[in-house]
Amino acid sequence: MWSKILVAGTLLTSALAGVIDLTVPSAGELLSELDAVLHPQSEPHLISYNENYLDPETQTNRKHCTLRARGDEKDDSDNLVTAVKKCGKGGIIKLPDANYTIGKPLDIYLENAVLDIHGWLSFTTDIPYWIEHRIYFPFQNQSLAFVIRGHDYVINGNDKGGIDGNGQVWYDYAKDFGNKYGRPMSLTIKDSKNVVVKNFSIIQPQFWASLVWGSENVLFKDFYVNATSFNPESSSDEKNWLQNTDGSDTYQSYNVTYENMVYQGGDDCIALKPNSTLIVAKNVTCVGGTGIAFGSIAQYPGVKDIIEDVYMENLNLYPSDQCPGYQGVYFKSWIGVPVGHEPNGGGGGYGYARNITVKDVYMEDIWHPVVVQTDLTYLDIDRSQYTDTSLFEWSDIHLKNFTGTGLGNRLVWMNCAKATPCFDWTFEDIDLKPGKTDHPEISYTCNNVVLGGKDGLNQCHPSNSTLETNAGGSI
């Protein structure tokens, strides 16, 4: 490793001494060379720069950086950061190679720029390193791997790639405990405005595939996520291997749109976390997992959360060979008193969800097509004592044109709380067929729902039956 070698011993001849440099390296030289190994610098020769590139999209001249991969699984992170510094404001950063190795968490800034990806950003699998160097996300004490901030930027996967999280090591690591500390999210759009993510894929995400946090005017178009376990042991226990592989989550964000999205995995396809407003989803297919989730929400005691102004249409939900379809459209809020601590304990928050429309939904063999759960906790406690305590209000919600099949008797299961009954819900053209008919009395269950006579819920009624009540969900 070092350029100067110390050879100990008294038998070296003067001839050998003339060949070998016997000078003892200084402490400074040793530290400098060690630092070069531990913290390699970027390699400018792998970055070509054009200051007056004619952008065919805008027909304007702008900065252009082309970044070549180092190859042989050598870390490309520093080179990517350097390319972004050169062209991330007003320019284009092109990654033309098939694979780039990302060995450290990244937090980059783009402004009036394009990140033009033609291959895969492949994350390394050193779990202790990623946990130790994680980027902190305060909600549920989670972790991030790749953060992009800024405004007016485009991330283009060119239908050729995007992110490969190498998630199998994380699925094995977190078996039986999906929210295990340190699992990083693959892509986070943070503190950003006017963003387009298009023709982009995330495969084998380590945790949630993507997160929109504190941002506005964000469009995901032609977006694909796939989380699959290749461990043979997972075939008998799919849920415990693919927990928390959400497709995309929104948090404290405004005006986020998903258009033409396909998700396959074991958890929420799209999840709207606290303070998600003006959210649109069109032409979304979810294969396996817990469907479209509103929440979880109201986890933090005394904190007000909202979900508001949501429009979704043309949703298709299926089971996969890897994971059942647990829920279709799922509204989930925490118990009304705090019990335990994050990430899997909590409760006692308050707030509301309203002005929500979900229409033109097809489901196939989903365990619970429509669910409202207001007693959410993941602790091993007697949940029944908290059943009616939720302080979060679900109202002004409208479901239209739902077709397809469930796996059990339950089709609509609204378990609202006495403390905050559900009201102003409408159901129109609901044509869901149960997979079982031995207990038709639970097909439409509405506990603590204020009915108005013109809401389409005439067949819905209270029920204290515990048949088929395992929600199978996760945070």
Spatial distance between the Cα atoms of 156 and 140, rounded to a whole number of angstroms: 30
| Cβ burial, residue 317 (10 Å; 0-12/13-18/19+) | buried
Using alpha carbons, select from 233, 226, 234 the residue that is nearest to residue 285: 226
Q: CB-hemisphere CA count at 13 Å for 219?
A: 13
Q: How many whole angstroms separate alpha carbon 263 and alpha carbon 272?
A: 15
Dihedral sign from CA coordinates of 164, 168, 174, 175: positive
Beta strands at 135-137 and 142-144: parallel, antiparallel or unpaired: antiparallel
Residues in the chain: 475
Annotation marks residue 97 as catalytic: no
Candidates 293, 114, 296, 266; CA nearest to 205 is 266
- From the candidates 76, 164, 246, 267, give the one annotated as an active-site residue: 267
Cβ proximity of 180 and 203 under 8 Å: no
Cα radius of gyration rounded to whole Å, the chain? 26
Check if the beta carbon of residue 318 is closer than 8 Å to that of residue 269: no
Whole-Å CA distances, 214 to 50, 150, 217? 33, 11, 11
| Selection from 57, 51, 49, 194 nearest residue 112 by Cα | 194
Q: Which residues contact 207 (CB under 8 A, 6 or more apart)?
A: 142, 143, 170, 183, 184, 185, 186, 244, 245, 246
Active-site annotation, residues: 267
